[in-house]
Each structure stands twice: as C-alpha cells, then as structure tokens.
Structure 1
Amino acid sequence: MSISKKRKQLSSSIETRPARTQKASLKGDVPPLGKFLASNDKLTRDRAVKALRKFLSGQSQEEDSFQEQLFATGGEEELLSHQNWEPIKPENVRLNSVELAKLYKGLFYCYWMSDKPIVQQDLAQELSDLSLIIRPISTSTSSDRILDQISTTQTALSFWKQFWIELSSEWQGVDKHRLDKYLLLMRRFLSVSFEILLRVNWHAQAIELWSEILKDTILNVADFKTPLSITYHITDIFLSELNRVLQNKGDHKPAPILKLLNPFMHGLSNSRPGTVTFQKIIDNIFDPLFANLDLFISDRTQVPKSSTIEIYTSFETHLISSDNSKNLTSIRNEILDLLFKAGSDPTCTPSNRKKIYNYWFSKRGIDDEQEQEEDN
C-alpha cells in the first residue's frame, strides 16, 4: 500500500473520533488530526507536533515549569510510602486507548515522512519527549503532589506503551531504507523510559508497570506476533542507554538493576525454540553485565586492547541491590539468584530451563566453586 493511501486511511479514521476531537485544529485545544501529522509539508507536520505537545501537557501551564515543580527534589520518603498505586481515574485520562492508537498511527507516519538525518534526529527526540510532558487532565502542584506524581507517571507509561504497540503493528512495512531511523526512534523511546522511572526515584510500582509493558509488548517473546527484530535491538541497546542516562543524571538515586532485569528474565524463560532470542539476551544483557561487574570487583582499571567488552562506567557506582547496597559482589550474586529462579519458574520451558541452569553454573563465583570442592 502506498504512503498516500495510508495517509488517506489515517485521516479518515481519525476524523471519526468523538465530538471532542473532530474539530481540525492546530491550536493545541484538541489532538491534531492525522492528515496534519502525516502531511507532505514539513511546516504543517511541525505545527501539528507543536500543537500535540501543547495538548498533552495541558494548556494552563508550560510543561517545563510543571515538570520542575511536580518532580522537584523533596518528598521522596512520602512517595516511597505509597507502595500500592491506585489505577488512574477514567475522568483524568487525557486520551483513551482508541484515541492513543489513532494518535500514534499519525505519529508513526509523521516520522516516516522525515527524510533528512538531522530532521530525523530532532524529531525522534521530540516524539520520545512527549512521554515526559504528558499529564492527566487533573493535576495540581499545590496540593496532593505525591498523588499527582503517581498519576502523571502512570499516564506517561501508558503513553509510552502505545509506541511499542504501534511500532510492532507497522514493523513489517518498514523497508530497508527507513530501518536505521526507526532503530534510532526505538533508542530514544527506551532512553526516555529510564528518565520516567528516574524522576520518581525508581519507585518499585513504576518499575513494575514498566516491566509489565515490556513483557506485554516487545519482550512478549512467546507470541508469534511479536517482531523479534525489535526485541533483538532492544537487548542490544538496553545497557548502553541505561548507562548513558545514569551518567547524565548521576545526582539521582542509583538504579535497582535487579528489578530492571525482570523483563529479560521473562524473555529467557519464555523464548521460543527455533529463534535466537535466548542467546541474544545472554550475549547483549547478561554477558556484558557480568563482565562489567567482574571488572569492577577485581579493581582492574584497564581492559586489554584485545577485549571486546564495552565498559559501562556508571555501573560501578550507580547500581544497587535489592537491599539498596552498592556492593557489586552482592549485586552479582543476586543476579545469579534471579537466573536460578527464572529457570525454576513453572512457566519456563524445559529447553530454556536447561540453558538457564547451564549459564547460571558457568557464572558461579570462586566462592561457590570452592564450596563445591569442599562438599566433594
């Protein structure tokens, strides 16, 4: 199907919205129609994205000042005390699931129409940043600040999830000439998810929502509908993007790496036979992570030139274990424990269980090997 036909279908489908959004406007009072987002004219597309940014962030206040006030330092302990997050109220949802799906269809082709590298880079950042500025309809920085932080984070992650749903549904239509720019877009969206989590100090409920989104979408590796090439790319860039965000935001709370690995444990347990998913997760996530931890634990300051290890410098000081310890040996041991639990999970397939246990055994520390010798 040609891009012109797709744009016509897109604009006609979005024009059937409820009365609130039928009005064609680029003022930011309603979401821009798909025909504006997927226009041949760059100026029109730019105006549509700008209007969308205004709509998503609300019109009563600039989004930058709103974010600064809402997520300013202070109140971390009170936020942590909210262990169970209530679902966001329907009346506070800025876009329902149908509206989100139609909107992302427009954003997908908005990015499709961007051809020049600099334009692509700027637009990729601008589109991913929408997840940072969206907020529910009812928020206030003067009262119930903690509840506002929670509802804003839930809204942001819901908006972020729709990107992966839309990308997966359109992935087969991405040709080789546009592949690189969509890989860049994925990198930007993955990175922005870490920023969403970081601004609520890696709250356990936020990470759980984020983890479930990945397991339901691009790391739902047991589903034949999941484009595994997207999965492979995410495993390839995950550690480097986490390292970059931690380096840039070093004054924040360290990242609870064990919780962030949860969706990849799920991927190991549920990878389908006949695919390289299992090995991709091992090669791109766990091997580099163990290599970095072992390097820092041994206090080596230099890596041999022949080594292919990519060093993630922030991991030495910006990771914590489940008990908030920065001890790298403890972190390493807990990762091993998680691997063992992944292998013993009832949902783990027999073939994956064997591979997980073999990998777990290969990564056991010196203390474990000595203990085994003593037992013998």
Structure 2
Amino acid sequence: MASSSASQTPPLGKYLASTDKKTRDKAVKNLAAFLSDPDRPHLSDHEMDKLWKGIFYYQKVASFEFLGGFWRTIVREWGGIDRLRMDKYYMLIRRFVNASFRLLMRCDWDFGSLQTYNDILIRKGGPLCPDDNRVPPSLKYHLADVYLEELEKVLAWDSEATDERPPRAPLDAVIAPFLTVLARTSSNHTFERVMSAVLEPLIQSLASPGAAEPPSKKRRRLLGDELSYIADNSCISSSSTVDKSSLHRALLNHVFSVASEQDTRDWNRRRLYKFWKSNLEDDHDDDRARGEVDGS
C-alpha cells in the first residue's frame, strides 16, 4: 500500500485548472502519484469526467501528453499483465478511449487535435503502430473491438434532454489510425480483425437498408441501429454533406484513396480495393432499386 495519502485520491479538476502555476504543478504531481499506485481506489464515471475536465483546462497539450504516456506504458507493460487482472486493463483501455473521444469533442474535432491524437496511436510505441513488433496483437484487437462502441456513446444525443447537438465527428479522420493499420500491417489476423470490428460495421451502418448483408455474425450486434448516433452525428472532413448515403460513398472513396497510397502493401491494397468495389456495387444496386420503385 502506498504510504502517501495524496495517492489515495485524485487531485480535484479545479486544482489542475487553477490559474496559479504552483497549484497546477502540485496537482499534476499528485495525479502522477495516484495513477501509479496499484492499490488506488476505483474511479466512478463521474469522478473520471471531473478529472479529465481538469486535465483539459490545465492545458490541451498536457492532455495529449498524458494520453501519449498512458499508451506507451500500456504497450511496454502489456505482456507482463497477470491474466487474472486482464479484464481490469481491458476496462481501463475502454475508459481511456471514451475519455479521448470526449477530449476531441471538446476540441470540436479540430484537425490539429485529431492529428495529434492519431499520431499517438500509430507512431512507434503506439498501440496501433502497424510495423512495431513490440505492440502486442491482442492490444490492437481490443482497441478495434471497443473503438466504435465508445464513439457511439460519446456521440449519443438526447434531444429531449438538451437542444445542443454534439459537434459532428469527421469519420475519415476518426478512423484514420485503423485505415493505416489496414494499409500497412503484415498480419492477416490483424487485417481481418480491424475489418470485421471497425470498417465493415461502420460502412454497413451507413448503407441504405437492404443494401448488403452484415459481414459476419460476430459483429452483427454493432450494426444498424446499434451505431445510429455515429451515423446521425458524423461528417467527412472535406465535405459539409452529412446525409448517410453521402457519408457512405465518401468513406468508401477514402478507403480507395488509402488503398492507392504508395506505402500500402500490395496484398492489403488488393483486399481494400475488393472491399471498396463490393460495397460500391451494393450502393449502386440499391440506387437502381430505388429508381425502379420511384418510377413504378
């Protein structure tokens, strides 16, 4: 048990956001002690939100530095985690993914913040780096499994509780790290997991009803209405169009662009082209079917 009482409770957000530098620095020191204590108490969602709000107002750059340190530590220590405690770390990662999306949403999903965050994930030592052999595949798999689920939670909007719609998330930028993995990974298992957990469910959620069957039973629970908030509260970086059909085609075009990049592996390129073509044909078939109904 850590001897310091300061490590038993996180610093209040108001101290992290204090205008006095000494107060802020002391709060950061206490936060580091708290997070490094293996016997620290569990934080509720409310407490975690207050802590992240304080970190955000302490300094946005510091928030991303905090995230970078977390992911470097997770990658470095992942192999040594006791399997009996693994569920706790899976939940910790889920909470960090959710908190990261909330941070990005507070930044209005601006390009610079997204670029900084995505770089944390895909650079050497990052959990989604496609060519760093130190990154455990199981860590990539878990991130892929929870990414859309946590984005859906963050984009959830209760129109009866508030009139303020959350800022739309630019889907092409939000999933960019996973597209980098799909383009550059040399692992067939990693490619298949990212496709089934991220890209296929996302494209399916934006497709017109009946345009295509779900890609696999495993991810069926993530499709359709399960990702309705993502479908309704998203956009594409380069376009102001936000209807689902346009998002569907724009995201497919982005997949094509990634497949066409010079550093995309040839094997991955062929599979991404196949995915693009198959879903584009489904989209065109659905357009023709709607035209026949409208003209009848």
Q: 1:227 aligns with which of 136, 139, 145?
A: 136
Q: What is the DSSP-based 3-state SS (H/G/I as helix, E as strand, rest coil) of the residue aligned with 1:120?
A: coil
CA distance in 2, matches of 1:210, 1:278: 22
Q: 1:205 aligns with which of 96, 99, 112?
A: 112
Kindly state the Cα deviation for residue 56 of structure 1 after the two structures are TM-superposed: 3.6
Instruction: Report 1:251-330 matches (<5 A).
Output: 251-273=165-187, 275-294=188-207, 297-298=208-209, 308-310=220-222, 311-321=226-236, 322-330=238-246
Kindly state the Cα deviation for residue 241 of structure 1 after the two structures are TM-superposed: 0.4
Kindly state the Cα deviation for residue 344 of structure 1 after the two structures are TM-superposed: 1.4
CA distance in 2, matches of 1:135, 1:366: 43
Where does residue 192 of structure 1 map in the other structure?
A: 99
Question: Structure 1 residues 224, 127: CA separation in 2 closer, same or farther (over 3 Å shift)?
Answer: farther
Where does residue 132 of structure 1 map in the other structure?
A: 53
Q: Which amino acid aligns with 2:2?
A: S
Q: What is the DSSP-based 3-state SS (H/G/I as helix, E as strand, rest coil) of the residue aligned with 1:201?
A: coil
CA distance in 1, matches of 2:74, 2:46: 16
Q: 2:156 aligns with which of 239, 247, 266?
A: 247
Query: How many residues are paired up?
Result: 269
Q: Which amino acid aligns with 2:55?
A: I
Kindly state the Cα deviation for residue 125 of structure 1 after the two structures are TM-superposed: 6.9
Asked which structure has the greater RCO (Cα within 8 Å, sep 6+), the reply is 2
Using the aligned pairs only, state the percent identity: 23
Kindly state the Cα deviation for residue 218 of structure 1 after the two structures are TM-superposed: 0.9
CA distance in 1, matches of 2:46, 2:128: 23
Kindly state the Cα deviation for residue 337 of structure 1 after the two structures are TM-superposed: 1.1
Q: Which amino acid aligns with 1:57?
A: A
Kindly state the Cα deviation for residue 131 of structure 1 after the two structures are TM-superposed: 4.2
Kindly state the Cα deviation for residue 210 of structure 1 after the two structures are TM-superposed: 1.3
Q: Which amino acid aligns with 1:120?
A: H
CA distance in 1, matches of 2:56, 2:201: 36
Q: Which amino acid aligns with 2:180?
A: H
Question: Structure 1 residues 125, 175: CA separation in 2 closer, same or farther (over 3 Å shift)?
Answer: farther
Q: What is the DSSP-based 3-state SS (H/G/I as helix, E as strand, rest coil) of the residue aligned with 1:364?
A: helix
Q: 1:120 aligns with which of 42, 51, 75?
A: 42
CA distance in 2, matches of 1:128, 1:171: 25
CA distance in 2, matches of 1:175, 1:236: 21
CA distance in 2, matches of 1:175, 1:364: 45
- TM-score normalized with structure 1 length: 0.62
Kindly state the Cα deviation for residue 136 of structure 1 after the two structures are TM-superposed: 7.8
Q: What is the DSSP-based 3-state SS (H/G/I as helix, E as strand, rest coil) of the residue aligned with 1:365?
A: helix
Where does residue 177 of structure 1 map in the other structure?
A: 84
- TM-score normalized with structure 2 length: 0.78
CA distance in 2, matches of 1:108, 1:165: 15
Q: Which amino acid aligns with 2:278?
A: S
CA distance in 1, matches of 2:85, 2:36: 12
Larger radius of gyration: 1
CA distance in 2, matches of 1:230, 1:197: 22
CA distance in 2, matches of 1:159, 1:109: 13
Q: Which amino acid aligns with 1:282?
A: M
Q: What is the DSSP-based 3-state SS (H/G/I as helix, E as strand, rest coil) of the residue aligned with 1:308?
A: helix
Q: Which has the higher helix share?
A: 2
Where does residue 50 of structure 1 map in the other structure?
A: 11
- For structure 2, list consecutive stretches of 5 or more residues without a partner in the other structure: 159-163, 288-296
CA distance in 2, matches of 1:243, 1:370: 26
Residues 1:342 and 2:249 aligned together: no
Kindly state the Cα deviation for residue 299 of structure 1 after the two structures are TM-superposed: 8.9
CA distance in 2, matches of 1:128, 1:169: 26
Kindly state the Cα deviation for residue 237 of structure 1 after the two structures are TM-superposed: 0.6
Where does residue 127 of structure 2 map in the other structure?
A: 218
Q: Which amino acid aligns with 1:254?
A: R
Kindly state the Cα deviation for residue 195 of structure 1 after the two structures are TM-superposed: 0.9
CA distance in 2, matches of 1:333, 1:198: 24
- For structure 1, list consecutive stretches of 5 or more residues without a partner in the other structure: 1-37, 64-92, 138-151, 372-376
Question: Which aligned segments of 4 or more residues in structure 1 are displaced greater than 6 angstroms?
Answer: none
